[in-house]
């Protein structure tokens, strides 16, 4: 997603949990940052897309966002939606977004992933 957004001219920061994820983001020409710095970096963001299936956009992070920022969270939605509403932020819980917008491509991606997992398991046995 970050690569595609950057190709469209967006200035993309990818907040990650592991150093190798940051290295990958930076190797793709994106700005990488530690997830722990998200609250500090948040005031600079126009949009936040959360693909981490864990509580990431907590009330302190949401408080740091500009009021006009938009948060788009995929399932299960790592956003404190109640806090976003209290703060007047627009947070969209975009459940199953890939399947809704591009069902064939999403299905192909799921199939490839399942096959890769099965191959890995076969190699371990």
Task: Encode pLDDT of 51-95 as tens digits.
Answer: 777 788 899 999 998 887 776 665 566 788 888 889 888 877 666
Give DSSP secondary structure letters for 28-74.
TT-EEEEGGGHHHHGGG-SEEEE--SS--B-HHHHHHS-TT-EEEE-
pTM to 2 decimal places: 0.67
What are residue 53's DSSP bridge partners?
none
d(CA 101, CA 78): 21
Q: Give yes or no for residue 117 having a pLDDT over 60.
A: yes
Q: What is the pLDDT of residue 100?
A: 54
């Amino acid at each position: 997603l970050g690569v595609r957004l950057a190709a469209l001219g967006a200035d993309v920061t990818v907040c990650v949990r592991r150093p190798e994820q940051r290295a990958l983001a930076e190797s793709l020409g994106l700005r990488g940052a530690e997830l722990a710095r998200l609250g500090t970096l948040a005031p600079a963001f126009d949009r936040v897309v959360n693909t981490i299936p864990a509580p990431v956009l907590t009330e302190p992070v949401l408080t740091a966002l500009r009021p006009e920022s938009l948060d788009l969270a995929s399932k299960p939605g790592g956003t404190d939606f109640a806090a976003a509403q209290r703060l007047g932020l627009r947070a969209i819980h975009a459940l199953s977004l890939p399947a809704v917008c591009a069902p064939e491509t999403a299905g192909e991606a799921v199939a490839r992933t399942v096959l890769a997992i099965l191959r890995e398991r076969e190699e371990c046995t």
